[in-house]
């Protein structure tokens, strides 16, 4: 009897251990019995939260699935706009499993690669439709914000045609992303059992053969705008320079006028003083004027005067009294 107890205990212990399973944090579990997902009384797949749970040994198989938000970083793909121009768009999708039973069955046993391949196909089809109904300038631009447009007092801020056209573009990039999100969310939930949390276009490029022509056109437009600004700058510089020269000429004329008036008044005052001095002492005035003339005439050692020594000019040098000599 004791010999039978040991095998029975071992088998019971093994069955008990086989009936226990643990769901890690961040994951959810479903039980597969005879190839079918176990459901509750409401015919809804039974989901096992993180923790310790029980199952029927030998008959039940546990499949754990990631319940966290996952990112599908899709590869860059080429799309055609309504203008029949190609654009290369790089996007990503945020998604999570909502219906674990449906997800398990739709992906062939919970294969993440299969789920992302099916999800990418849905997103690409909707995105291709949205891009095909819009122009490039609508796709690459965000929504226009009228709050930041300049008012009438700032109208001069917008001077170039390119800037005016940029303000007139009604960007629909956010609208495209929202449409893709709305259109794929319902079908993804129905077909795959996943919920699309978010969709974003992270990069929009043009093919190399188109980019070069666009860059050349943009460069030509910028050069045209630059030439226009330089021309306007030179025009304003000429106006400022002319105004400055006019002001300088006016100031110099006023200064010359003031100097001439002041010099004339000074000359008149000097003449008056000379006249008064002459009337008081004519002889002393004549002597003083002669000394001034001598000082100016003999200021340089190399100066030479060819005059008659008996002339009126040397009367004070020949005679201190200033009388004529015989």
Residue 255 has a pLDDT of 94
Within 13 A of 259's CA, how many CA atoms are on the CB side? 6
User: Residue 155 above 50 pLDDT?
Assistant: no
Residues 6+ apart with CB under 8 A from 130: 176, 179, 180
For residues 191-203, average pLDDT? 91
Specify whether the backbone of 84 is left (phi greater than 0), alpha (psi in -120 to 50) or beta.
left
Q: Which residues pair with 204 in a beta bridge?
A: 89
Mean pLDDT of 66-86: 87
Rounded mean pLDDT of 298-321? 64
pLDDT in tens, 206-241: 877 777 777 788 889 999 999 999 999 999 999 999
Cβ atoms within 10 Å, residue 199: 25
- 70-145+161-206 has which CATH code? 3.30.479.30
DSSP state of 149: S
Question: 44-53, 107-116, 200-209 — which one is most confidently predicted on average?
Answer: 107-116
Confidence of residue 46 (pLDDT cuts 50, 70, 90): confident
Question: What is residue 120's predicted lDDT score, i.e. its pLDDT?
Answer: 92
User: 76 with 179: CB under 8 angstroms?
Assistant: no
Confidence of residue 250 (pLDDT cuts 50, 70, 90): very high
- Which ranges in the chain belong to alpha helices (H)? 2-18, 100-106, 112-132, 136-140, 161-168, 173-192, 208-280, 282-297, 315-318
Segment 6-24, tens digit of pLDDT: 777 777 777 777 778 888 8
* Closest by Cα among 71, 179, 66, 192 to 133: 179
Residue 194 CB neighbours (<10 A): 25
Q: Residue 149: what pLDDT?
A: 42
Report the pLDDT value the prediction gives residue 321, as an integer from 0 to 100.
Answer: 55
Contact between 80 and 86 under an 8 Å Cβ cutoff? The reply is yes
pLDDT digits over 117-137, tens only?
999 999 999 999 999 998 888
- pLDDT at position 49 is 86
Encode pLDDT of 77-88 as tens digits: 889 888 888 888
Contact (Cβ atoms closer than 8 angstroms) between residue 23 and residue 48:
yes
Residue-level pLDDT at 314:
63
pLDDT at 316: 63
Q: Rounded mean pLDDT of 154-176?
A: 53
- In this prediction, residue 283 carries a pLDDT of 72
Mean pLDDT throughout 306-325? 60
How confident is the model at residue 305, as a pLDDT? 66
Domain positions in the chain: 2-66, 70-145+161-206, 214-280, 289-326
User: Among positive and negative, which fits the CA dihedral 254, 259, 264, 269?
Assistant: positive
d(CA 183, CA 193): 15
């Amino acid at each position: 009897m004791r010999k039978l107890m040991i095998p029975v205990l071992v088998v019971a212990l093994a069955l008990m251990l086989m009936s226990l399973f643990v769901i890690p944090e961040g994951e959810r579990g479903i039980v597969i019995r005879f190839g079918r997902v176990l459901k509750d009384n409401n015919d809804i797949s039974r989901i096992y939260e993180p923790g310790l749970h029980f199952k029927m040994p030998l008959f039940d198989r546990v499949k754990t699935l990631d319940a966290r938000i996952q990112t599908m970083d899709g590869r860059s793909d080429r799309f055609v706009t309504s203008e029949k121009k190609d654009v290369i768009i790089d996007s990503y999708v945020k998604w999570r499993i909502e219906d674990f039973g449906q997800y398990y069955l739709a992906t062939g046993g919970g294969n993440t690669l299969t789920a992302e391949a099916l999800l990418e196909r849905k997103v690409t089809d909707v995105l291709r439709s949205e891009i095909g109904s819009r122009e490039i300038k609508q796709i690459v631009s965000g929504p226009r914000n009228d709050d930041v447009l300049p008012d009438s007092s700032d109208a001069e801020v917008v001077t170039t045609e390119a800037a005016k056209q940029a303000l007139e573009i009604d960007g629909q990039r956010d609208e495209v992303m929202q449409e893709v999100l709305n259109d794929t969310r319902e079908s993804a939930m129905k077909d795959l059992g996943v919920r699309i949390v978010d969709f974003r276009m992270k990069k929009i490029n043009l093919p190399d053969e188109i980019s070069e022509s666009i860059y050349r056109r943009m460069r030509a437009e910028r050069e045209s705008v630059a030439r226009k600004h330089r021309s306007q700058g030179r025009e304003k510089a000429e106006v400022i320079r002319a105004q400055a020269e006019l002001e300088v000429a006016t100031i110099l004329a006023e200064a010359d006028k003031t100097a001439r008036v002041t010099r004339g008044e000074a000359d008149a005052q000097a003449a008056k003083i000379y006249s008064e001095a002459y009337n008081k002492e004519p002889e002393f005035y004549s002597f003083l004027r002669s000394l001034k003339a001598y000082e100016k005439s003999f200021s340089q050692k190399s100066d030479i005067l060819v005059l008659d020594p008996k002339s009126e000019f040397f009367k004070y040098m020949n005679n201190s009294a200033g009388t004529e000599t015989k």
